[in-house]
């Protein structure tokens, strides 16, 4: 069992691009004894942070905005990416790293929406890490001055621990999940640069107090921006697109050869 998050290393994560699969190691030590967990966690996170900095430098040099998109399962991450891919076609290049425990169903949906996508399956793992994302960036090789969205595994706990090299963190919460999510999962919401309330078209049919939710976000993460939107009826989507486009950095250098991608 993993010392940092409790997910099992029984199956190796793999990423696929088209019909081909590539394997990346997932650093999950096992068979450790009581008293070793803190040291192991520190080592795992230190190694991950080093790889994340490599990813971040690679992205920054090319002027690519990387966004770590996190939420509980079923909050609408994939639906938002589908709608974004279609709406931004010809306006803003959008690539996606799709994280799931199993299947390529979401990657297929996003690809059908016109986005370049790489699937990472984590098996029993409950989050993506910087090594996985580095391998996916090699496969994607997104163009300069574009956006890469990393759709993390649906989980409101473990993904908050792992820096992937992203420039921004976005946490989604749908109106069907309950008003008190920020208080129940403060670590996740505390790390957010932007909180997106999704499925607002269902607002009249559920017990969700958006004002109280905003107050809870203010308590947990006062620096975070908040957007309310519906990927179904389009409400709030222009704010989401403006947020993305305003954060794309200028490439520091000309694009490097493919062999220079992070290890």
Asked if residue 254 is part of any domain, the answer here is no
Asked if residue 5 is part of any domain, the answer here is no
Task: Read off the pLDDT of each residue in 179-185 and give the average, rounded to a whole number.
Answer: 97
Asked if residue 12 is part of any domain, the answer here is no
User: Residue 206 pLDDT more than 80?
Assistant: yes
Task: Read off the pLDDT of each residue in 32-45 and give the average, rounded to a whole number.
Answer: 66
Asked if residue 171 is part of any domain, the answer here is yes
Binned at pLDDT 50, 70 and 90, residue 3 comes out as: very low
Q: Give CA–CA dist 135/171, Å, rounded.
A: 23
Asked if residue 138 is part of any domain, the answer here is yes
Mean of per-residue pLDDT scores for the chain: 87
User: Residue 26 pLDDT more than 50?
Assistant: no
Provide the domain limits for residue 240: 36-248
User: Cβ–Cβ contacts within 10 Å for residue 106, how many?
Assistant: 20
Asked if residue 257 is part of any domain, the answer here is no
Closest CA to 68 of 202, 142, 3, 162: 162
Overall domain count for the chain: 1
pTM: 0.84
Contacts of 7 (CB under 8 A, 6+ apart): 1, 28, 122, 124, 125, 126, 127, 158
Task: Read off the pLDDT of each residue in 17-41 and give the average, rounded to a whole number.
Answer: 50
Specify the CATH number for the domain of residue 243.
3.40.50.300
- Written as one string, the DSSP assignment of 31-70 is SPPTT-HHHHHHHHHHHHHHHHHHHHHHHHHTT-EEEEEE
Q: Give CA–CA dist 68/191, Å, rounded.
A: 11
């Amino acid at each position: 069992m993993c010392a940092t998050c409790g997910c099992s290393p029984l199956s190796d994560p793999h990423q696929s691009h088209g019909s081909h699969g590539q394997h990346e190691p997932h650093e999950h030590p096992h068979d450790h004894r009581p008293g070793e967990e803190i040291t192991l966690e520190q080592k795992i996170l230190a190694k991950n942070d080093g790889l994340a900095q490599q990813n971040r430098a690679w992205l920054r040099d090319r002027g690519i905005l990387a966004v770590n998109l996190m939420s509980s399962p079923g909050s609408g991450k994939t639906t938002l990416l589908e709608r974004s891919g279609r709406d931004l076609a010809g306006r803003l290049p959008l690539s996606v790293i799709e994280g799931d425990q199993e299947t390529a169903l979401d990657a297929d949906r996003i690809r059908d929406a016109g986005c370049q996508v790489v699937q990472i399956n984590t098996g029993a793992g409950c989050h993506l890490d910087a090594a996985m994302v580095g391998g996916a960036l090699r496969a994607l090789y997104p163009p300069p001055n574009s956006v890469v969205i990393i759709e993390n595994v649906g989980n409101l706990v473990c993904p908050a621990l792992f820096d992937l090299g992203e420039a921004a963190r976005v946490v989604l919460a749908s109106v069907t999940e309950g008003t008190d999510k920020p208080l129940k999962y403060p670590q996740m919401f505390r790390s957010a640069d932007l909180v997106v309330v999704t499925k607002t078209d269902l607002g009249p049919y559920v017990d969700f107090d958006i004002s109280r939710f905003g107050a809870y976000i203010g308590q947990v993460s006062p620096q975070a921006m908040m957007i309310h939107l519906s990927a179904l009826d389009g409400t709030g989507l222009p704010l989401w697109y403006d947020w993305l486009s305003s954060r794309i950095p200028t490439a520091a250098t000309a694009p490097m050869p493919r062999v220079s991608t992070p290890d």
